[in-house]
């Protein structure tokens, strides 16, 4: 009987509250606020263990992540230490060989920084205008680079500005090396986004992913500047994906190493691979 009366009483109370909420909203809102205030301390006490448990679980996950990160950093540190030992040994060996051969070091490079102020790129030419010229020490034939790699070379010089011929231009010819095999080649632009490797020795093997760097041959450009990676090897064509995106050039450094290997002759007829370096 008590359970039945309790059930009936709860139904009547609910019905009464429903009627009151329609008749007197302010009274119901005040009553609801008082009930919430009365139960708020209880809810806070009940939820504290839940919050503490969630925080403990998050702490455990964070400790596990930090442990994994610590292990990874330890392995990386050990690997870097091995490379450091190898680098020091090679440095000492290199110094001894230089003393033995009376090695003459290369001249120290001087960098001239400038901002790209114009893009003459199009279907038939890939070049940009730099806001640095002869007044700043820019000379024809100097290499233009960014932090990613080779951009091109200085083709024309004015007093206050200069024009850079990009490595993708039809008239661009750059002596390069396949970094792993030290195979010599010529990087020839053809107004596409990917220049191609030409003039490789007979039997030379080039694979996708090989890094290409400047060779420094013919005194044209400094050696060892990153150029790109081999992107595709097909019958009769080896494409190189440049490290530098010519569409996002903003600031460029012109490297002055006192090289005089750039010839002043005009571009080769038709821009063919048999022409001389320009």
pLDDT digits (tens, 9 = 90+) for 166-183: 999 999 999 999 998 899
Alpha carbons 8 and 207: distance in angstroms, whole number: 85
Mean pLDDT, residues 17-41: 70
The pair of structure tokens assigned to 38 is 């009365």
* Cβ neighbours for 63, distance < 8 A, ≥ 6 positions apart: none
Query: Does an H or E element contain 81, and which?
Result: helix 25-101
Q: Which of 80, 105, 130 is the last residue of a domain?
A: 105
Q: Which residue has the higher pLDDT, 3 or 275?
A: 3
Same domain, 149 and 175: yes
Residue 257 has pLDDT above 60, yes or no: yes
Same domain, 142 and 218: yes
Sign of CA dihedral 60, 63, 67, 68: positive
Q: Is the residue at 268 inside a domain?
A: no
Q: Which of 198, 229, 118, 213 has the alpha carbon at shortest distance from 164?
A: 118
- Determine contact, residues 278/268, Cβ cutoff 8 Å: yes
* 120 C-beta neighbours (distance < 10 Å), count: 14
Q: Which of 89, 105, 121 is the last residue of a domain?
A: 105
Number of domains into which the chain is organized: 2
Mean pLDDT, residues 52-74: 87
Question: What's the mean per-residue pLDDT of the chain?
Answer: 82
Residue 38 has pLDDT above 90, yes or no: no
Instruction: Output phi, psi for 183, to 5 deg.
Output: -80, 130
Same domain, 127 and 256: yes
Alpha carbons 55 and 167: distance in angstroms, whole number: 57
Q: Is the residue at 269 inside a domain?
A: no
pLDDT digits (tens, 9 = 90+) for 92-149: 778 778 777 776 666 677 889 999 998 866 667 899 999 999 999 999 999 999 989 9
Same domain, 127 and 258: yes
Instruction: State pTM to two decimals.
Output: 0.58
Same domain, 99 and 115: no
- Determine contact, residues 159/190, Cβ cutoff 8 Å: no
In DSSP terms, which residues pair with 237 in a beta bridge?
Answer: 234
Indicate the DSSP class of residue 143. Answer: E
Q: Which of 207, 208, 220, 128 has the alpha carbon at shortest distance from 174?
A: 220
Same domain, 59 and 119: no
Same domain, 27 and 97: yes
Alpha carbons 188 and 197: distance in angstroms, whole number: 6
pLDDT digits (tens, 9 = 90+) for 191-218: 999 999 999 998 888 999 999 999 988 7
Same domain, 86 and 152: no
Same domain, 132 and 199: yes
Catalogue the E-assigned strands of 74-225. Answer: 110-119, 127-130, 143-145, 150-157, 162-166, 173-178, 183-188, 196-198, 211-214
Q: Is the residue at 274 inside a domain?
A: no
Same domain, 144 and 238: yes
Q: Which of 63, 87, 105 is the last residue of a domain?
A: 105
Same domain, 53 and 163: no
Domain that holds residue 202: 110-263
């Amino acid at each position: 009987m008590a359970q039945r009366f309790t059930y009936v009483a709860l139904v009547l109370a609910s019905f009464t509250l429903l009627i009151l909420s329609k008749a007197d909203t302010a009274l119901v809102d005040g009553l609801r606020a008082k009930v919430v205030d009365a139960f708020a301390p209880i809810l806070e006490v009940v939820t504290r263990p839940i919050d503490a448990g969630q925080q403990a679980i998050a702490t455990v996950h964070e400790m596990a992540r930090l442990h994994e990160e610590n292990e990874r950093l330890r392995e990386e540190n050990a690997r870097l230490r091995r490379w450091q030992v190898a680098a020091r040994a090679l440095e000492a060996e290199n110094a001894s060989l230089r003393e033995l051969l009376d090695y003459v070091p290369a001249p120290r490079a001087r960098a001239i920084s400038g901002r790209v102020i114009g893009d003459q790129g199009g279907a038939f030419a890939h070049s940009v205008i730099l806001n640095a010229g002869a007044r700043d020490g820019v000379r024809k034939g100097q290499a233009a680079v960014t932090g990613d790699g080779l951009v091109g070379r200085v083709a024309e010089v004015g007093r206050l500005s200069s024009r850079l011929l990009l490595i993708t231009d039809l008239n661009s010819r750059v002596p390069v090396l396949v970094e792993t095999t030290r195979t010599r080649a010529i990087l020839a632009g053809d107004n596409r986004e990917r220049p191609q490797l030409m003039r490789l020795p007979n039997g030379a093997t080039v694979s996708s992913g090989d890094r290409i760097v400047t060779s420094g041959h013919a005194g044209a450009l400094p050696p060892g500047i990153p150029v790109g990676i081999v992107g595709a090897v097909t019958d009769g064509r080896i494409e190189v994906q440049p490290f530098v995106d010519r569409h996002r050039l903003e600031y460029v450094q012109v490297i002055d190493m006192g090289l005089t290997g750039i010839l002043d002759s005009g571009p080769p007829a038709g821009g063919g691979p048999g022409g001389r370096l320009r």
